[in-house]
Amino acid sequence: MTELVGGRRLGALAWPAATATAYAVAFVLVYYVSVRTVRGRSVSDAALRGAISSGASIQDTVEAILDIVSVGSLLGAVAMVAVIALVRLDRVRGLASIGVLVTANASTWLLKEHLLTRPDLGLDEIAPATLNSLPSGHTTAAFSAVAALMIVLPAAGRVPAALLGGAFVTVVALATMFAGWHRTADAMAAFLVVGMCTMAAISVIVLLDGTRPHAHAGVLLQWWVAAAVGALFLGSALVAVLSALAPLRDTLPGSLLAFLSAGLLIVGTLLGVLVGMLWVLAVTEDVRDGAST
């Protein structure tokens, strides 16, 4: 019986491993296209110009939203996760959730400040051309709190947490663009970093607490997948058009279209990462009976 349980746990590790690999590949692609290619940089800059012009009239609101995301709010998230874990008597998930908060934010800082570079491609950009801003720290902080809650909450609370938290994270990501702090890919990369750290945390839970299959997860997430694919397709199509039509891209209407594409790509990426999280959490559900057998 012990060998059966051990084999089931090792088999379940394939889900977070495969999902983390997909997130990592997507991260590399986002970074390369948006930072290392002229067309990607040009459309990204147009989107930032569109965001800044669109948000000029709501700067007070933007600042208020961004002020919510701070070291204090992260400590509050840690406290909330700890309380939920204590109530559920689930130390492993509580520690794994706190691990997501720590590793995701530390990884973003390390990537942005030390590992990733932004070469000078000779472009005239609205933000400093060589100032690397990927991934977004504000977006990472907000999304890591959502991911931590999804891990520690019971299964019935995950989808509501993902919906409400995802809406808030989207607002934060767009606010960083309105403020001129971050580009489109910075938010997308932040989602993927949090996703990878979440998969690592789920792997720890699988090893320590056991698993069982969850047969109905796919039905719940079909609409999420369709929305993610649709948003990514439309956003990518707009990017392709704008990258091919430089005269349009460099106008005010073109920059607003670029910002629309940014919103679609941000929402699509967020939904895609959330789908992966919800699915892997479902198919690697904690079962103490299995863990103690």
- Per residue in 187-206, pLDDT tens? 999 999 999 999 999 999 99
Q: How confident is the model over 23-36, as a mean pLDDT?
A: 97
How confident is the model at residue 293, as a pLDDT?
37
CA distances from 197 to 90, 104, 108 (A): 19, 6, 11
The answer to whether the beta carbons of residues 132 and 117 sit under 8 Å apart is: yes
Going by C-beta distance under 8 Å and a sequence separation of 6 or more, which residues neighbour residue 234? 261, 264
Backbone torsion region of residue 287, taken as left when φ is above 0, otherwise alpha when ψ lies between -120 and 50, otherwise beta: beta
CA-closest candidate to residue 12, choices 264, 291, 271, 226: 291
In this model, does residue 142 exceed pLDDT 60?
yes
Q: What is the pLDDT of residue 10?
A: 67
- pLDDT confidence of residue 283: 86
Name the DSSP letter for residue 135: S
What local confidence, expressed as pLDDT, does residue 9 receive? Answer: 64
pLDDT of residue 111: 97
- Give rounded-to-5 percent helix, strand, coil for the chain: 85, 0, 15
Question: Domain tally for the chain?
Answer: 1
Does residue 269 or residue 293 have the better pLDDT?
269
Q: What pLDDT does 233 receive? A: 97
Q: What is the pLDDT of residues 63-97, one digit of tens each?
A: 999 998 888 888 899 999 999 988 888 899 999 99
Q: What is the pLDDT of residue 3?
A: 46
Q: What is the pLDDT, as a whole number, of residue 155?
A: 87
Query: Model pTM greater than 0.95?
Result: no
Query: Alpha-carbon dihedral of residues 195, 134, 223, 160, nearest 10 degrees?
Result: 60
Peptide bond before residue 160 is cis, with ω within 30 degrees of 0 = no
Question: What is the radius of gyration, based on Cα positions, of the chain?
Answer: 20
For the chain, the average pLDDT equals 89
Taking alpha carbons only, the member of 99, 96, 136 closest to residue 116 is 136
Average pLDDT rounded to a whole number, residues 235-258: 93
* Whole-angstrom distance, CA of residue 290 vs CA of residue 186: 40
Confidence bin at 7 (pLDDT 50/70/90): low
Q: How far is CA 163 from CA 87, 143, 185, 278, 290, in A?
A: 23, 12, 22, 11, 30
Tell me, what's the pLDDT at 218?
Answer: 54
* Residue span of the structural domain in which 20 resides: 2-292
Model confidence at 222, in pLDDT bands (50, 70, 90)? confident
Q: Which amino acid is at 214?
A: H
